[in-house]
């Protein structure tokens, strides 16, 4: 009886894969299969790198074999970084990605991964909020990182001067409160004269009173201010009132 090594099997399938994945190796159109893994089917699923050999036969006289090397690529070491600081509602924070070739970002309000911008500026509008990062390397392997962001109630502090001199000399010419790390959901600033007439009002924290009413200079004397604020998600308004001296 003479055996013939005249069969030419070819192992098909990917020969590289990413860590944590697998590849399918298979051979077509033979009757019997024996892999060096011990499997006896026409296909095997590979989870590790290494050399894989299949021996095939159609009967007891004809056989053949093929060998393939499979390599596993490690996942990219994807990391998400940012400046660790206290965040207020609607603050914008810069998020940076490292460790991969292309990056994609996801938050619940985005509802999908978007990219490939790096870094990104993200405005935090609810707490807590988790930002996810997907990184893809040049082997098309994917890894992830994430960070959960929180904001705090940033009311800070308010300082109100007791006098100002709107005389055009460029020194203390306007009256407004000054703030230390303050962000309000509601802000009202009003100024009244001694007769109860409102001479100034604004909702803009950057606006100040220049000592005028309808374009005309107001008299020297005492005026009264009223400030109403509300921090984000606070249940109560905060009221600050007092007097200010207008001098020339």
**Which of 86, 83, 80 has the alpha carbon at shortest distance from 103?**
80
Tell me: do 93 and 143 sit in the same domain. yes
Same domain, 239 and 186: yes
Computed on alpha carbons and rounded to an integer, the radius of gyration of the chain in Å comes to 36
On whether residue 200 sits in a domain, the answer given is yes
Domain assignment present for residue 195? The answer is: yes
65 band by pLDDT with thresholds 50, 70 and 90: very high
134 and 90, same structural domain?
Answer: yes
More confident site: 181 or 246: 246
Q: Decide which of 137 and 151 is more confident.
A: 137
Q: Does residue 176 register a pLDDT over 70?
A: yes
Residue pair 66/9 in contact (Cβ under 8 Å)? The answer is yes
Whether the link from the prior residue into 169 is cis, omega within 30° of 0, is no
| pLDDT reported for residue 32 | 92
Percent of the chain with pLDDT over 70: 92
Least confident of 46-60, 92-106, 156-170, 186-200: 156-170
pLDDT of residue 2: 44
Same domain membership, residue 171 and residue 142? no
Range of the domain at 54: 16-73
Strand partners, 64: 56
Same domain? 141 vs 166: no
What domain count does the chain have? 3
Same domain, 126 and 206: no
- How far is C-alpha 179 from the geometric centre of its chain's CA atoms? 28
């Amino acid at each position: 009886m003479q055996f013939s090594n005249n069969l030419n099997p070819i192992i098909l399938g990917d020969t590289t894969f990413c860590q944590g994945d697998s590849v399918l190796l298979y051979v077509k159109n033979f009757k019997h299969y024996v892999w060096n893994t011990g499997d006896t089917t026409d296909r095997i699923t590979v989870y590790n790198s290494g050399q894989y050999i299949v021996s095939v036969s159609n009967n007891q006289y004809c056989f053949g074999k093929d060998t393939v090397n499979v390599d596993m690529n490690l996942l990219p070491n994807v990391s998400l970084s940012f400046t660790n600081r206290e965040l207020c509602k609607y603050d914008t924070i810069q998020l940076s990605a490292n460790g991969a070739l292309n990056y994609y970002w996801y938050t619940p309000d985005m509802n999908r991964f978007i990219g490939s911008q790096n870094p990104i500026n993200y405005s935090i509008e609810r707490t807590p909020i988790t930002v996810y990062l997907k990184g893809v390397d040049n082997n098309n392997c994917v890894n992830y990182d994430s960070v959960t962001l929180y904001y705090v109630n940033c009311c800070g502090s308010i300082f109100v001067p007791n006098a100002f001199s709107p005389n055009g000399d460029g020194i203390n010419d306007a009256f407004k409160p000054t703030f230390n790390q303050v962000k309000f959901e509601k802000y009202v600033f009003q100024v009244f004269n001694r007769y109860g007439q409102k001479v100034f009002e604004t909702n803009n924290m950057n606006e100040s009173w220049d000592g005028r009413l309808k374009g005309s200079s107001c008299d020297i004397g005492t005026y009264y201010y009223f400030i109403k604020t509300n921090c984000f998600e606070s249940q109560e308004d905060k009221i600050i009132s007092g007097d200010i001296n207008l001098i020339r």
